[in-house]
Amino acid sequence: MTTTIHDLQSIAQQLVAPGKGILAADESTGTIKKRFDSIALESTEDNRRAYRDLLFSTPGVEEFISGVILYDETLRQRSSDGKPFAQVLREREILPGIKVDQGAKPLPFAPGEKVTEGLDRLRERCAEYRELGATFTKWRAVTDIDGRKGLPSDLALDANAHGLARYAALAVEEGLVPIVEPEVLMDGDHSLETCFMVTERTLRKVFAQLYEHRVPLKAILLKPNMVVPGKKHPKQASPEEVARATVDCFLRCVPAALPGIVFLSGGQSEEEATANLDAMNRLGPMPWQISFSYGRALQASALAAWKGNAANREAAQRAFRHRAKLNGAARHGRYEPKMEKIAV
C-alpha cells in the first residue's frame, strides 16, 4: 500500500502527541561502548540487546514515549521473548524509527568542520528499513562554533543543509517521516547570543534547502539544539533565558507548517534538559508542538541503576519511566524540580 503525505503527516503528529516525546536509542556501536564504559560493562551484542530490551519493555512508558529511534543493529534484534523490537514497540503503540546517516566526516577544504555522509544507496536502505518495521527516520548534521577560527563557515552550513534536504526528500519518497537534525554543538566558550546567531543561520539554510528539494514540511519533524551558551562560557543561562532565546530564534525562521520540534539534549544533564523543555512550554501556545527527542537525558539514571546486572532490571525501568514521566510533564509546562524527589 502506498504511503501518502497525509499518512506521513499523521505519523509526525503522533510522534509529537501532547505529553509525549521520542527516546533516542540510536547510539552507534562506538557510542554505546562509551556509555557502557561508564558502568564497567563490556559492549557485546547481547549486552546491547539486553539494555534496549530493558528500556523498550518498561511498564507504562508508552504514556510518555511516542517513538523510539533505533540503530541498524537494534532494528534487527529481538526481545527476550523472541519478538522483533519493532513489533515490541508497535504493540505498545510506540512508533519505531531508524537512524539512517552514516556519521559526520571531515569536510574537504574546511579545516575543523564536518559533513554528514550516507546518501549513497539511501533510497534502498529506507525501503529495507520500512520492510523491517520503521515508520520514521533520522539524519544528524553537526555544526561547531569557534569564533577564533571563523566557524561555522557558509561552506559547511550549505553542505550539511543540502545533505539534510536530500535525505528528507528520499525518506518521504520511501514512505518514512524524516526527522531533520541540524545540531549546533554546545561545546566551546561561546555566549548565548552567539549560539542564537549561529542557530538562526543554520535553520535558515536548512529550510531554504528543504524548500528547494520540495520536501513537504507538514510530513517532517525538526530535531535541533536549544539556544544555550557553550559549556565553557563563564555565564550559563537559566531555563527561562534558554526558553526565551530558543523560542525567539525559532519563531524567526521555522515555518508554522511544521508539526513539531523535538529538541535534542546535546550534553545537558537530565534535570537541565527537562527544565529547559518545561520553560519553553510555559511560554504558551506556539505554531508547532514543542517536544523532546532525548538520548542520555532520558537514559542516564536508568543506565546507572542497571549496571549491566539483570537483578537491577526493575530498578532501571523505574528510573527510566520516572524520567519519561517528568519530560511528559514538561511537555505541558507542569514540571517542577521537587518532582525529581518523588518516588515512582
Q: Note the Cα 271 to chain centre separation in Å.
A: 17
Q: Do 232 and 188 contact (CB within 8 A), yes or no? A: yes
Q: What are phi and psi of 269, to 5 degrees?
A: -70, 165
Helix or strand or coil: residue 293? strand
Listing DSSP states for 196-251 in one string gives: HHHHHHHHHHHHHHHHHTT--GGG-EE--------TT-SSPPPHHHHHHHHHHHHH
In the chain, how many H helices and how many E strands? Answer: 12, 10
At 273, list the grid cell.
534538559
181 catalytic residue (yes or no): yes
To the nearest 10 degrees (0 to 180), the angle between helices 296-306 and 29-37 is 50
Identify which of 42, 43, 37, 114 has the alpha carbon closest to the alpha carbon of residue 73. 43
Query: Annotated catalytic residue: which of 113, 223, 270, 325?
Result: 223
Residue count of the chain:
344
Q: Which of 27, 113, 174, 181 is catalytic?
A: 181
In degrees and rounded to multiples of 5, residue 142 shows phi and psi of -115, 145
Q: Compute the distance between CA of residue 104 and CA of residue 291 in angstroms, rounded to an integer.
A: 25
284: left (phi over 0), alpha (psi -120 to 50) or beta: left
- The letter for the amino acid at 22 is I
Residue 307 annotated to the active site: no
The span from the CA of 257 to the CA of 248, in Å, is: 17
Q: Say which residues have a Cβ less than 8 Å from residue 156's Cβ, sequence separation at least 6.
A: 107, 110, 113, 114, 115, 143
Residues 156, 143: contact at Cβ < 8 Å? Answer: yes
Q: Catalytic residues, which ones?
A: 181, 223
